[in-house]
Structure 1
Amino acid sequence: MIEACGLSKAYGDTIAVDGLDFRVEPGLVTGFLGPNGAGKSTTMRMILGLDRPTSGSVTVGGSGYRGKVWPLREVGALLDARAVHPGRSGHNHLHSLAAANGIARRRVDEVLEQVGLTAVARRRVGGYSLGMAQRLGIAAALLGDPGVLLLDEPVNGLDPDGILWIRTLMRSLAAEGRTVLVSSHLMSEMALTAHHLLVIGRGRLLADTSLADLIARHSADRVEVRSPDAVRLAAVLRAHGGEVTGAVDGTLTVAGLGSARIGELAAGHGWVLHQLRDLTASLEEAYFRLTQDAVSYRAAVAA
C-alpha cells in the first residue's frame, strides 16, 4: 500500500503538490489522472524518494522508500523508458539492475520473455524503438517481482497488441494482490484498466473514488429514445417538462424526465419505441467536467 499524508512540494514560490492525502490499496489498478502540470510526476518522484517533500509524508508498505535494502524487490517503477545508457544491450541493462538488487540472473531472461524482448535482448538500447524501450522499462519494473508498481504512461509507444498486453498485465498483477498505480492521459485506456482513480489538479486532490462512482457523479440525467413517432413524442415530452434535442432521424436525447416516465408517456399515446436507454458519461467527459477549472496550460482555440 502507498499512503500520502499532507504531501506537499514547493519549488521556490511554485507549489507543485499541495497537501495530498490518499491511499493506493493493493488488489486494484489505481489510475492517477490530472492535466499537464497537475503534480503527478512530482508525486510519483516523492513516492520513490527521488524528490523530498517540503512537508507531509508518503510511505510504501508503512515506511519510506529511501533506504530500503533491496528497493526493486519492493517497488518497481517506470518513469522514463529512455533513461537507459544507449550503448548497453537490453540484457546487460537488466543484468546490472539485478546484480545491484540481489536478484537471480535467471530472472532477467524471465522478464525479457514476459515483455516480448527476448529476440532483441542483445541489441543496444540506443537502437530500440519507443515501444521496445517501453517494454524494457516495464521489464525493469517487474524484475524484482515487487508488491508495488508505479507506471507512468505505460502504453506510450506500444502498438495495439502491446496496449492489450499491458492492460491485461496490470489487471492480472493487481488480481495477485499487488498495489498498482498508473499515471496516464489516455482516458479510454484508464476506462478499460483502472478500478479506482486519483485525480489531481494544480497540486490538489480533486477526486479519490472508484471509476464507476466518478462516471455516475458526473453523468447528466439524460435518456436516449428512438421512435418512428419521434416528432410527436418530442412535443409531448416538452409539454411534460423534458428538454429534448434531436428528432431528425427519429432519435431524441431527453433531459429532465426519467426513462420510466418517457416510456409511460409513449405507451399512453400508443407510440412504438425502438430504443430507450439511460445515457452515462464516458470517463473522458467526467474527467473534463471535474478538471475544467484546474487546467494550467490551455491552448488557444482557432477561429
Structure 2
Amino acid sequence: MIEAQGLTKRYGRKAAVSGLDFRVEPGRVTGFLGPNGAGKSTTMRMILGLDLPTSGTVTVNGRRYQGTVWPLHQIGALLDARAVHPGRSAYNHLHSLAAANGIPRSRVEAVLDQVGLTPVARKRAGGFSLGMAQRLGIAGALLGDPGILLFDEPVNGLDPDGILWIRTLMRSLAAEGRTVLVSSHLMSEMALTADHLLVIGQGRLLADTPLNELIARDAANRVEVRAVDHHRLADDLRTLGGDITLKPDGTLLVTGLDSASVGELAAARGHVLHQLRDVTSSLEDAYFRLTENSVVYRTPVPA
C-alpha cells in the first residue's frame, strides 16, 4: 500500500504538489490522472524517493521507500522507457538490475519472455522502437516480483495488441493482490483498466473515487430535451434552477435538474416535447469537467 499525508513539493515559489492525501490500495488498479503539469510525475518520484517532499510524507507499506536495501523486491517502476544505456542489450540491462538487487539470472529470462522480448534479448536497446523500450521498462518493473507497481504512461508507443497486453497484465497483477498505480492521458484506456481513480490538478487532489462512481456522478442531473418552443422551455427551466446550453440543432442540454423534473415542468406548462432523455457520460466527459479549471498548458483554439 502507498499512503500520502499532506504531501507537498515546492520549487522556489511554485508548488508542484500541494497537500496531497491519498491511499493506493492493493488488489485494484488505481488510475492517476491529471493535465500536463498537474504534478503526477513529481508525486511518483516522491513515492520512489527520487525527489524529497518539501513537507508531508509518503510511505510504502508504512515505511519510507528511500534507502530500501533491495528496492526492486518492493516496488517495480516504469517512469521513463528510454532510461536505458543504448549500448546494452535488453538481457544485459536486466541482468545488471538483477545483480544489484539479489535477483537470480533465471528471473531475467522469465520477464523477457513475459513481455515478449525473448527474440530480441541480445539486441542493443538503443535500436529499440518506443514500444519495445516500453516492454523492456515493464520487464524491469516486474523483475523483482514486487508487490507494488508504478507505471507512468505505459502504453505510449504500443500497438493495439501491446495495449491489450499491458491492460490485461495490470489487471492480472491487481487480481493477485498487488498494488498497481498507473498514470495515463488515454481516458478510453483508463476506463477499461482502472478500478479506482486519483485525479489531480495544479498539484491538488480533485477526486479520490471508484471509476464507476465518478462517471455516474458526472452523468447525474444532465438531461437532453427537445421541444417545439425550445426558447420558452429554456426560460421555464431556468426559473426552476436549471443551467441550460442550447445546441445548434435546438436541443437543450440541462444540468442541475433530473429528467423527471423536466418532464413534470413541461407537462405543467404545456410544452410539447420531441425528446427527453438522461445523458450518458464517459470517463473522458467526467475528466474534462473535473479538470476544466486546472489546465495549465491549454492549446489555443484555431480562429
Residues 237, 244 of structure 1: 8 Å contact kept:
no
How far has the Cα of 1:222 moved from its partner? Answer: 3.5
User: Counterpart of 2:173?
Assistant: 173
User: Counterpart of 1:148?
Assistant: 148
User: Counterpart of 1:292?
Assistant: 292
How far has the Cα of 1:276 moved from its partner? Answer: 7.7
2:30 aligned with 1:33: no
User: Counterpart of 2:211?
Assistant: 211
Partner amino acid, structure 2, of 1:79: L
Gapped regions of structure 1 (runs ≥ 5): none
- Give 1:148-297 correspondences, 5 Å limit: 148-219=148-219, 221-223=221-223, 258=258, 278-297=278-297
How far has the Cα of 1:248 moved from its partner? Answer: 7.1
User: Counterpart of 1:53?
Assistant: 53
Q: 1:56 to 1:125 in 2, by over 3 A?
A: same
- Alpha-carbon separation, structure 1, partners of 2:88 and 2:135: 15
Residues 29, 181 of structure 2: 8 Å contact kept:
yes
Partner amino acid, structure 2, of 1:181: L
- Alpha-carbon separation, structure 1, partners of 2:20 and 2:265: 49
Partner amino acid, structure 2, of 1:129: S
Q: CA RMSD in A?
A: 2.9
2:113 aligned with 1:88: no
Gapped regions of structure 2 (runs ≥ 5): 267-271
Residues 195, 211 of structure 1: 8 Å contact kept:
yes
TM-score normalised by structure 2 residue count:
0.86
User: Counterpart of 1:134?
Assistant: 134
Q: Deviations over 1:57-98 (max 9, x none)?
A: 100111111111111011000000000000000011001111
User: Counterpart of 2:4?
Assistant: 4
Q: 1:9 to 1:254 in 2, by over 3 A?
A: closer
Q: Which moved more, 1:157-166 or 1:210-219?
A: 210-219
Question: % of aligned pairs identical?
Answer: 74
- Alpha-carbon separation, structure 1, partners of 2:256 and 2:75: 49
Is the partner of 1:218 in helix, strand or coil?
helix
- Alpha-carbon separation, structure 2, partners of 1:8 and 1:247: 45
- Alpha-carbon separation, structure 1, partners of 2:247 and 2:16: 44
Residues 234, 252 of structure 2: 8 Å contact kept:
no
Is the partner of 1:297 in helix, strand or coil?
coil
How far has the Cα of 1:216 moved from its partner? Answer: 2.0
- Segments of 4+ in structure 1 off by > 4 A? 230-249, 251-266
Q: 1:297 to 1:246 in 2, by over 3 A?
A: closer
Is the partner of 1:155 in helix, strand or coil?
coil
How far has the Cα of 1:99 moved from its partner? Answer: 0.9
- Alpha-carbon separation, structure 1, partners of 2:66 and 2:27: 24
TM-score normalised by structure 1 residue count:
0.86
Residues 89, 122 of structure 1: 8 Å contact kept:
yes
The total of aligned residue pairs comes to 296
- Alpha-carbon separation, structure 1, partners of 2:84 and 2:165: 23
Residues 221, 259 of structure 2: 8 Å contact kept:
no
- Alpha-carbon separation, structure 2, partners of 1:174 and 1:46: 22
Partner amino acid, structure 2, of 1:290: L
